[in-house]
Copies of this chain bind each other. A is one copy, B any other.
Amino acid sequence: MGISERREREKIERRKSILKCARELILAQGVERVSMEDIARKAELSKATVYLYFSGKEILFNEICEDAARVFVEHFRPILEGSLTGIAALKYFWRGYVELFGSSDEMIIIFQVRNFIYPGLPIISLEEQNKSSHVDIILDTIKTIIDQCKAEGIFDPQLDSAQATRLFLSMFSVIVENAVRMPPEAKKSPIIIKEMANAFQIILRGFAKEGIDRSCLNISDG
């Protein structure tokens, strides 16, 4: 039985390896440019073996997307658990995003792949999606934060939370799309991070209740 366990372990490792390689290729070249051939070569496997683990390109890419979303979600579990105030959650979100990830990789993966797999589907549509997806959990998380901020009197009470969530993620998705078009070394540069922080800040201000003191929206520092 030790043998079959090792086998099982190896199988899981191989799956991971394929996913990892595909991820890296997507980050390096963009989804559209990644072929099964590329993935197999990078994973040092034959294409046929890749098909053994993933029955098709779409399935494989979808799992990458889900994994990225899962990582994202794992990371922001504290927010989900509701132990934070809205603004603290936002700060936590931002810090987690920038300081911990240090890059936009998860978001890039999520948005790029999503668009690739479901080109006819709106990326951000709280209603239509099958709720088993981790991507939706992300959406829910954001929505929760937004609702909380509204409840706490920081965000405009008239703000439509669902729509604000879409808008918020749209922002991210575009910033991220732009990031993917940059040379890898530039992606994590302070300039990009700064621009993202500014964008984040502007969105928050846009969401804010009229007359509120902006300093409480500050995410970048202390």
A interface residues, Cβ below 8 angstroms from B: 29-30, 32-33, 115, 118-125, 160, 163-164, 166-167, 170-171, 173-175, 177-178, 181-182, 195, 198-199, 201-208, 210-211, 214
The CA of A208 and the CA of B211, in the complex, are separated in Å by 12
* A-B residue pairs in contact (CB < 8 Å), sample of 14: A29-B120, A122-B182, A123-B177, A123-B181, A125-B178, A163-B198, A163-B199, A164-B202, A166-B195, A167-B171, A167-B199, A171-B171, A201-B206, A205-B205
Q: With a CB–CB cut-off of 8 A, which chain B residues contact A115?
A: 177
Query: Do A170 and B181 touch across chains, with their CB atoms under 8 A apart?
Result: no
Q: With a CB–CB cut-off of 8 A, which chain B residues contact A123?
A: 177-178, 181
Chain B min CB distance to A98 (Å): 16
13 further A-B contacts with Cβ under 8 Å, apart from A170-B199, A205-B206, are: A119-B181, A120-B181, A121-B181, A122-B178, A123-B181, A166-B178, A167-B171, A167-B198, A170-B171, A201-B206, A202-B203, A202-B207, A205-B205
Q: With a CB–CB cut-off of 8 A, which chain B residues contact A198?
A: 160, 163, 167
Smallest CB-CB A-B distances: 8 pairs? A206-B206, A202-B206, A170-B174, A205-B206, A122-B181, A30-B119, A122-B178, A174-B174
Q: With a CB–CB cut-off of 8 A, which chain B residues contact A208?
A: 205
Which residue on chain B has the smallest CB distance to residue A121?
A: B181
The CA of A74 and the CA of B118, in the complex, are separated in Å by 34
The CA of A201 and the CA of B159, in the complex, are separated in Å by 11
The CA of A206 and the CA of B119, in the complex, are separated in Å by 30
Q: With a CB–CB cut-off of 8 A, which chain B residues contact A199?
A: 163, 167, 170
Query: Do B124 and A178 touch across chains, with their CB atoms under 8 A apart?
Result: yes
Which residue on chain B has the smallest CB distance to residue A212?
A: B210
The CA of A214 and the CA of B190, in the complex, are separated in Å by 32
Q: With a CB–CB cut-off of 8 A, which chain B residues contact A202?
A: 164, 167, 203, 206-207
Q: With a CB–CB cut-off of 8 A, which chain B residues contact A210?
A: 214
Question: Which of B182, B203, B211 interacts with A206 by CB under 8 Å?
Answer: B203
Which residue on chain B has the smallest CB distance to residue A186?
A: B122
